[in-house]
Amino acid sequence: MRMPLLSLPLLAFAPLPVPALAQDQGGHDMPQAEEPLQPSDDPHAGHAMPAPAGATEPPPTDPHAGHSMPADAQPVEPAAAMDHSAMDHGAMGHGDMDTAASPGPEFETPPPPEAGSGPPRAADAIWGAEAMAASRAELQRTHGDFAVFWFQSDRLEVQSREGTDGYLWDLQGYYGGPTSRFWFKSEGEGAFGQRVEDAEVQALYSRAISPFWDLQAGVRQDVAGRDTTHGVLGIQGLAPYLYEIDAALFVSHRGDVTARIEAELDQRITQRLILQPRAEVNLSAQDVPLLGLGSGIDKAELGIRLRYEIIREFAPYIGVEQSWRVGGSADYARAAGEDPSVTSYVAGIRFWF
């Protein structure tokens, strides 16, 4: 099929119409035809080629041949035929198949000087730079790095528990491009009929530091209880096994250092029914009597929520959550007449847009 147009030296490489195994060897072996068909003694060969494969592969003798790069095997020759000879054809797959029929360069080289340089401005010569400017800017703006807005109420729920029932919100959102965003967060909770117990808002700049992770920095303002401002440094993203992680370090204007780590995992039962285990740990580097924080682990939460996505953006859920105040914080809680261990049955909605 591809024989007629091959040059003479290449002809020798073309697969011959012989039985499969023989063809394989004949086709690939050319330059090394003298080599025996036996597993190589090359120390690296085994990495690339488990022993059984050796039976069908031309055995590389070059220490790198098992890894199959022509350049490694031999100095690069300009002639296509030499390139082929340098290759381990058995291992090279079709790269050489292609070149056998249609030879071409194997290594990337820069464009020649005749290719010119500078930005693409051919259209300016026809339509004028001024006429092109707006559409060029629009194209640049809309193809890749454009901003989107996202708002999510991850938890907006009522909590039923011993004593007074409570409520909780946990919202976040961003505006920005795929790697650079303004991020805001708010969460808070309280008991019905009482003052809001805890409430905070965060304003953060969020920058992608890896495919799945953002580094976030900004401020947090506590707006219920004791008026406190924190500096925030955190990371947020998707961990292996699809855990959504949000971890942040807070330094308050009084110098107290605290931290919070949240993890959630969406487990699809069906396309719409989703079980979401959730864990949160709050830490404190020191006792903060003012805020009722003991050093070490302050509070831990473990919850599970089952939601049904009526549409992707809107999902009512039910669940149960257990929270513990720990150590010094538990003492503060007890001193305040609170139970350091609370089990809540929750019902809420998760929505986003």
Partner 1 sequence: MVKLSRRGVLSGLGTGVALAAVPAWAQGHSLHGRGHSRGGPRIPAGFGELSGEVIDLTVGSGHRIVEGRRGPGIAVNGSVPGPLIRLREGQNVRLNVTNDLNEDTSIHWHGLLVPFHMDGVPGVSFPGIRPGETFAYEFPVRQSGTYWYHSHSGLQEQSGHYGPLIIDPAGAEPVPYDRDYILLLSDFTVLDPHFIMSRLRTGEGYFNRQQTSWTDDYPLSGEERRMWAKMRMPATDIMDIGAPTYTFLANGRGPTEGLEYLFRPGERVRLRIINGSAQSFFNVRIPGLAMTVIAADGQNVRPVEVDEFQIGTAETYDVIVEPGSAEAYAIVGESMDRSGMALAMLASRPGARAPAPPLRDPPLLTMADMGMNHGPSEGGGHVGHDGMDHGGGAARAAASAGGMDHAAMGHGTPAAPAATAEAGGAMAGMAMGGHSMEGMDMRDTSLLPPDVKVGPGVDMVSMAPVDKTGDPGLGLRDVGHRVLNYRMLAALEPNRDTREPSRLLEIHLTGNMERYMWSFDGRMYSAVSDVPIRFAWNERVRVKLVNNTMMGHPIHLHGMFFEIVNGQSPAQQPRKNVIIVQPGASATFDLTANEPGDWAFHCHLMYHMHGGMMQTVTVVGPEGAV
Segment 45 to 64, residues that bind partner 1, using CB under 8 A? 46-53, 55-57, 64
Give the C-alpha separation, 224 to 198, whole Å: 5
Q: What gap in Å lies between CA 123 and CA 61, rounded to an integer?
A: 55
- Which residues, 229 to 248, sit near partner 1 by CB under 8 A? 238, 240-242
CB of 177 to partner 1, least distance (A): 8
* Residue 134 or 336 with smaller CB distance to partner 1: 134
Site for partner 1, residues 264 to 303, rule: CB under 8 A: 267-271
Q: How far is the CB of 302 from partner 1 (least distance, A)?
A: 21
Can you tell me which of 210, 227, 255, 336 binds partner 1, judged by CB under 8 A? 210
Bridge partners, residue 274, by sequence: 268, 307
Nearer of residues 214 and 256 to partner 1, judged by Cβ: 214
User: What's the Cα-to-Cα distance from 280 to each of 101, 186, 191, rounded to whole Å?
Assistant: 61, 15, 20
With beta carbons less than 8 A apart as the criterion, state whether 243 and 265 touch.
Answer: yes
State which residue, 135 or 164, has the beta carbon closest to partner 1.
135
Nearer CB in complex with partner 1: 27/166? 27
- CA 26 to CA 29: how far, in whole Å? 6
33 binds partner 1 (CB under 8 A): no
- Check: CB of residue 206 under 8 Å from CB of residue 177: no
Under rule CB under 8 A, residue 345 binds partner 1: no
Q: Which is nearer to partner 1, 18 or 347 (CB)?
A: 18
Of 35-43, 122-130, 191-199, 326-334, the window that binds partner 1 (rule: CB under 8 A) is 122-130
- Judged by CB under 8 A, the chain residues 145 through 184 that form the site for partner 1 are 145-146, 148-150, 178-179
Pick 114 or 227: Cβ nearer partner 1:
114
Nearest of 349, 346, 322, 348 to residue 159 by alpha carbon? 346
Identify which of 304, 300, 301, 302 has the alpha carbon closest to the alpha carbon of residue 276: 304
Answer whether 287's CB lies under 8 Å from 293's CB: yes
Interaction between residue 2 and partner 1 (CB under 8 A): yes
Contact 179, 156 (CB under 8 A): no
| Residue 80, phi-psi category: left (phi > 0), alpha (psi -120 to 50), beta (remainder) | alpha
**Cβ atoms of 276 and 256 closer than 8 Å:** no
* Shortest reach from residue 181's CB to partner 1, in Å: 10
Instruction: Please pick, from the candidates 31, 58, 59, 70, the single residue that binds partner 1 as defined by CB under 8 A.
Output: 70
* Element holding 133 (H helix, E strand): helix 129-142
Q: For partner 1, how many residues bind (rule: CB under 8 A)?
A: 110
Q: Are strands 296-308 and 273-284 parallel, antiparallel or unpaired?
A: antiparallel
Among positions 90-119, residues that touch partner 1 (CB under 8 A) are: 90-98, 101-112, 114-117, 119
The single residue among 77, 141, 290, 343 that binds partner 1, judged by CB under 8 A, is 141
